[in-house]
Amino acid sequence: MAQYLITGANRGLGLEFVRQLLARGDRVIAACRHTARASELNQFSGEYPGRLKVLPLEVADPRSIAELAREVAMLELRIDVLINNAGVLTSGETFGEVEAKALSQAFATNAQGPFLLTQALATQLADKARVVAISSGLGSIERTKRFGTPSYNISKAALNMAVRLLGHALAEREIAVLALSPGWVKTDMGGENADLDVSQSVSNMLKVIDALVFDPEAIGQFLGNGGDPLPW
């Protein structure tokens, strides 16, 4: 029985990760901004007693990250898999109207947050643990063929670099670090026209995560939800 910590766990991909992991018998620390409003997570706590702990986290706030790390250490929780899932996307951005606030918020949530959280939780990660950051094909510089969602794309490209750096930082303990794209998913962020439903995307990603082992030749790799390498 492995122990997972998932950020942005109150909805979308995060909530589905929690659902599938609990259903198969794993333990989960579910982190989200407003724990009192996370009705489905709190319902899961009743359905899976002793296997789900819900903790507050604002991933863009370094103080909140530090508080979560203190709580995890105080509870002596060892993390086998950390899934940095929380993310934000500002829709409707057009060239000439992109705001500094949107860029800052995207970077703080999508790149800075996962980096600082992984760093803060490093001592609670088990040796040979796995660290996964939910990235996006939109963070691929090579695949960018148009101007769209700039604050999101820039932050996800930065996240991919953060993953590579974290992979090297944690390599001595054989901790595998991965940037993983969920595909185009029918969530609040992806919209109804997306290719994949949430359950299929998460099921696919869990297969990739389950198969992930430390490989010194593939530190901080960037994969699609089928396990295929994506271009940087």
Domain presence at residue 229: no
Give domain status of residue 232, yes or no. no
One digit per residue, the tens of pLDDT, for the chain of length 232 reads: 899 999 999 999 999 999 999 999 999 999 999 998 999 999 999 999 999 999 999 999 999 999 999 999 999 999 999 999 999 999 999 999 999 999 999 999 999 999 999 999 999 999 999 999 999 999 999 999 999 999 999 999 999 999 999 999 999 999 999 999 998 776 766 666 667 889 999 999 999 999 999 999 999 999 999 999 999 9
Which of 153, 133, 156 shows the shortest CA–CA distance to 144?
A: 153
Q: Rounded to the nearest 10 degrees, how much is the dihedral formed by the CA atoms of 126, 128, 133, 137? A: -170
- What's the token pair of residue 191? 């919209």
How many C-beta neighbours within 10 Å does residue 103 have?
17
* Residue 172 token pair: 């001595």
Residue 68 belongs to domain spanning: 3-223
**Residue 189 confidence (pLDDT):** 62
Overall number of domains in the chain: 1
Output the six-digit token pair for 195: 């290719």
In a domain, 132, yes or no: yes
Q: What is the pLDDT of residue 45?
A: 92
By three-state DSSP, how is residue 196 classified?
strand
pLDDT at residue 191 in the model: 65
Any domain includes 228 = no
Q: Is residue 39 part of a domain?
A: yes
For position 148, which CATH number holds? Answer: 3.40.50.720
Q: Distance between CA 149 and CA 230 in Å, rounded?
A: 19
Is 181 in contact with 136 (CB distance < 8 Å)? yes
